[in-house]
Amino acid sequence: GQNIDQPTEMTATEGAIVQINCTYQTSGFNGLFWYQQHAGEAPTFLSYNVLDGLEEKGRFSSFLSRSKGYSYLLLKELQMKDSASYLCAVRDHDGGSQGNLIFGKGTKLSVKP
Amino acid sequence: EAQVTQNPRYLITVTGKKLTVTCSQNMNHEYMSWYRQDPGLGLRQIYYSMNVEVTDKGDVPEGYKVSRKEKRNFPLILESPSPNQTSLYFCASSFPQYFGPGTRLLVL
């Protein structure tokens, strides 16, 4: 079956570093996305990985290991505004279907002073 | 301004009364999709469209229909809504996905 797992909730301190893990089992793989979603708002795109390795974008970095079915999102220098849900999503590519995007249930991050 | 718009933003309806949620994007994107988001279940894809006249089922297509007659519009149709379709709905376009603001639907 297809499954994406990420922790339900995490808490971190302002100024610290936090790593949000995501493991996936999908029938195909055509890229992994991370989104941020503040309460009551639409998700917004953070990062994209299709090859193994680390992608860095300012305070945010994302890592992918396709052989392990594993990714993480690293947030540095945490700010209060980073309190949000972080969604991991895998673009499937099974049997010719190229558009199926499967989301994890999201990790709710609370940043405390 | 580049955006994805959805209408209505909020809707209360009754079981069995057909409704359409419109979605429009002004970025000339070929790919569009619909999701529903429920507490504890996350975002689940309902339908997607790779291009005009090409649509495919996502993970939870039952009870929904879509059409893609032109590139900018991708309406979601509930022919006979039921209470289990009460949810927050998002339309999105392109990869990575640009999401619309969401439509909160309550089916009584």
Q: How far is A81 from chain B (nearest CA, A)?
A: 19
φ, ψ for residue A99 (rounded to 5)?
-115, 5
Q: Structure tokens of B25?
A: 């994007």
Task: Identify the pLDDT of residue A2.
Answer: 79
3-state helix, strand, coil in chain B (%, to 5): 5, 50, 45
Which residues of B touch chain A, with CB atoms under 8 Å apart?
A: 31, 33, 35, 40-45, 48-50, 56, 58-59, 90, 95-102
Digit-coded pLDDT (tens) for A36-85: 999 989 999 999 999 999 999 999 999 999 999 999 999 999 999 999 99
Over residues B16-32, the mean pLDDT reads: 96
Task: Identify the pLDDT of residue A95.
Answer: 54
Which of chain A's residues have a Cβ under 8 Å away from the Cβ of B95? 31, 33, 91
Over residues A25-33, the mean pLDDT reads: 89
**Residue of A48, A103, A107 to mutate, interface with B, max B Cβ within 10 Å:** A103
Digit-coded pLDDT (tens) for B57-104: 999 999 999 999 999 999 999 999 999 999 999 999 998 889 999 999
Digit-coded pLDDT (tens) for A19-28: 999 999 988 8
